[in-house]
Amino acid sequence: MLHKESKKQVSAGLILVVDDDEFVRQVATLHLEYAGYRVVQAADGAEAIRLFDESEEVPSMVLLDMVMPVLSGCETCKGLRQRVKGLRLPILILTGSDDEESVELAFRAGATDFVSKPVNWAILVQRVRYALRNRELYLELEQKEQQLSHAQHLAKLGYGRMNLTTGIIDFSPEIAEMLGLDGESTIKSEVFFNLLSPRDQEKMRQALDEAVAGAGQYIFQHRLKLSGEPEKVILQQGEAQQVDGEWLISGTLQDITERVHAEEMIYFHTYYDPLSDLPNRALFEKQLGEQLGGDELQAVLFVGLDRFKAVNDSLGHASGDLLLKEIAKRLSPLQKEAMVVARFAGDVFSIYLPKAGSVEEVDELAQTLLTLARIPSQIGEHTLEMSASVGIALYPLEVASAERLLLGADTALNLAKKHGGGQYRYFSSELDGLAQERLLMEQALREAVKLEQFELYYQPQIDARSQEIVGVEALIRWNHPERGVVAPFKFIPLAEETGMIIPMGEWVLNRACQQARCWLDKGIKVRMGVNLSVKQLQLENFEAVVASALEVSGLPPEQLDLEVTESMAISDLKNTISVLKKVRELGVLTSMDDFGTGYSSLSYLQQLPLCTLKIDRAFIKDIDDEGNHAEIAKTIIDLSRNLGLHVIAEGIETRSQFEQLLMHGCDEIQGFYFSKPIKAAEFESLYEKIEGRFLLRDFES
């Protein structure tokens, strides 16, 4: 039996994964083995107990599902705890239940920690590392008492004991250091409680009461605020025992500040704009969707700086960024007034009033925003006098959904700008002029589809190691006879809404394949990337459209790469998988564009028949010369390697960004640092000039 530990060889790198879901077991095994651990699997609790009783090599940690047949997670945990006590065997519970009762049951059964499903695998691996580190320290404590102080210092883990009867706490030097009490070993319990916030004090008292009442063990996370020092995040674990009529709480404190900060950084990069420190569009839309409803007046306001492009063009993007930071600083205090303030996109800020009160109050806010924008800004040596335009949409007076609120505010903002800026406008269903403009644009777009008033531009994709041009991304432009070249963001949404994207997308696919074949005949072998629309994926015969384009052009299928966005892929996952599988059967490559801007779990990625992930420019643009802000890009590159996918980074604009991505193992890069999107003839000239390969040089000189 395992509890006869003197006869067992405990492996320091073997982890037992117990889950009745084979997919979860396989994904966990993939990540743990990639992190350097060995894994053994069990499909239920009974099999896990049998492995412990019969195996000569004992796992050093268990990842245990909460809900399983035969033996539940709690029953299995209790059985393992009868064999191995405490930190000698960390048990990490995987649970889809986020209620406190389920978590408490797990801890009562002897669990060390828990992770909620769906699992964030990157954080799970970190928690495994922390748990195994704690285990190693625990074993060192048993084996070499003289090394305890040094080992606990490295792990920021200390041991203490609280006498609930006398109110005295005694503790190890590590805890003394955490508390800023070097040289001391005892304090009164009230001194420790005073270092916690009132909320955390209540949580700790409740944990102690429950431990004494019969729960035995407890675990919770709290914060410590020491005078003159940054706040610390502490993980406290303890166990209640009655000795000679006195209740004693023995346990550990671990400083997990660094781990928590890492998790907070991931959250920040997902939901906050690093330039302004305001919530980004994703968080704004999330909060809007969660709060919108009822009959109370609510409003969304879009604030756009007038003639901001002129600042970037004349003073440079660095000055433009400083101006945006200044405006964000002026808007930030509004969040204290029950408003949601975000940097929505570019020079546009968004404000959500869940309780607008009245239209008059919205008017007052709009006037305040215009006043704030008119305050002169000192940017370096320049004093800038700016103005702003404000677009407002009201719920439920004019619109009835979050999507229409955003669209209405944007429409009203554009209307304010068209009328000279420095003013605010309300969105109204009776904006006849705007509706007529849209109708004219739609008619012009239909004519453009009929007359093929489009042209493809091509942006090179570069092998990061050899600097060879290995592919291009085809990008559509509209050559309007009166408006000139129209950028895609101005007509693609309209094409999507009206269904014109289908013939337009077919034209792009055919023209791109023909161009790639033409280049191939000239000795220019590059992969052709073509963006797809969600409406194209919904066509019953889309794979036939692709096959026809290949047949007519004569392009080898492996030279065509069809790109879908992340949000498009998961909006109708079943259909996307089906269509992409049929496309892959033709030999065509498939890529996920704008990766990281939505939420794709590993289960989604593993189901999609992808060849390549493209890192969105949002995770590239803030990488500086020292390599700061490259963590998300590196994580995506590591994930791609883990899944056997090729990876391309978009939006490379500086040499330092290129070098950082090269160092982290990115396969290909794409961006203005090497080349902006160019016409076919310009691409041929460029390719011939550099003989298909960019030399390492300063492209900015």
Residue of 593, 586, 575 whose CA lies nearest to 549: 586
Query: In this predicted model, what pLDDT tens digit does every residue of 276-293 receive, in sequence order?
Result: 889 998 889 998 988 888
Q: Identity (one letter) of the amino acid at 258?
A: E
Q: What is the DSSP string of 397-440?
A: TT--SHHHHHHHHHHHHHHHHHTTSSSEEE--TT-HHHHHHHHH
Give CA–CA dist 407/247, Å, rounded: 62
How is the chain split into domains, by residue range?
A: 5-142, 147-261, 272-431, 451-682
Q: Any idea what DSSP says for residue 163? A: E
- DSSP β-ladder status, 469-480 and 527-531: parallel
- CB-based burial label for 496 (10 Å; 0-12, 13-18, 19+): middle
CA distance 147 to 140: 7
Domain 147-261 has CATH 3.40.50.880: no
Q: Which run of H or of E encompasses 291?
A: helix 281-291
CATH 3.40.50.970 is right for the domain spanning 272-431: no
The token pair at 383 is 């004093």
Looking at residue 99, its pLDDT comes to 63
- pLDDT value, residue 104: 79
E-only strand ranges, 204-291: 217-224, 232-243, 246-255
Q: Given this model, what pLDDT does residue 694 score? A: 81
- Are 88 and 58 in contact by the 8 Å Cβ rule? The answer is no
Residues in CB range of 149: below 8 A, 6 or more apart: 172, 173, 174
The DSSP secondary structure of 73-109, one letter per residue, reads: HHHHHHHHHHHS-GGGS-EEEEES--SHHHHHHHHHT
| Greatest extent of the chain over all pairs of C-alpha atoms, in Å | 94
Which two structure tokens, joined as six digits, stand for 436? 């007529």
- Measured distance CA(385)–CA(376) in Å, rounded: 5
Give how far Cα 349 sits from Cα of 127, 523, 546, 555, 605, Å.
37, 48, 41, 45, 33
Q: Show the tokens assigned to 527.
A: 């992969």
Counting Cα atoms < 13 Å in the Cβ hemisphere of 489 gives: 0
Q: Which CATH number fits domain 451-682: 3.30.530.20, 3.90.950.10, 3.20.20.10, 3.20.20.450?
A: 3.20.20.450
Residue 671 is encoded by which pair of tokens? 């961006």
Other Cβ atoms closer than 10 A to 278: 24
C-alpha distances in Å from residue 274, one per residue of 63, 279, 618, 634, 650: 35, 9, 10, 17, 18
pTM: 0.43
- How far apart CA 170 and CA 161 sit, in angstroms, is 5
Position 549 scores a pLDDT of 96
d(CA 152, CA 170): 16
Whether 596 contacts 628, CB under 8 Å: no
Sequence-distant (≥ 6) Cβ neighbours of residue 668 within 8 angstroms:
461, 462, 463, 464, 470, 471, 646, 647, 648, 649
> Is the torsion defined by CA of 301, 334, 617, 123 positive or negative?
negative
**CA 315 remoteness from chain centre:** 32
Beta strands in 314-363 (DSSP E): 340-345, 348-353
φ, ψ (nearest 5 deg) of residue 223: -120, 150
| Domains 5-142 and 147-261 alike in fold | no
- pLDDT given at position 155: 59
What pLDDT does 145 receive? 55
DSSP symbol at 487 = P
Q: Which helix (H) or strand (E) covers residue 583, if one does?
A: helix 573-585
Angle at 144 between CA 142 and CA 147, to 5 degrees: 120
* 71: Cβ contacts below 8 Å, ≥ 6 apart: 44, 45, 46, 48, 49, 79
DSSP state of 71: S
d(CA 500, CA 637): 36
Instruction: Quote the CA–CA distance of 498 and 72 in Å, as a whole number.
Output: 53
Q: What are phi and psi of 356, to 5 degrees?
A: -70, -25
DSSP string, 589-606: EEEEEEETSS---HHHHH
Query: How high is the pLDDT of residue 477?
Result: 93
Omega before residue 460 within 30° of 0, cis: no
Q: Which residues of the chain fall short of a pLDDT of 50? A: 1-11, 151, 432, 435, 599-600, 698-701
The pLDDT assigned to 9 comes to 42
Sign of the alpha-carbon torsion through 680, 682, 688, 693? negative
Multiple choice CATH, 5-142, 3.40.50.2300, 3.40.640.10, 3.40.50.720, 1.20.1250.20: 3.40.50.2300
From residue 67, give the alpha-carbon distance in Å to each of 103, 121, 467: 12, 19, 51
Alpha carbon 427 to its chain's center: 33
Name the token pair of 552: 């007519």
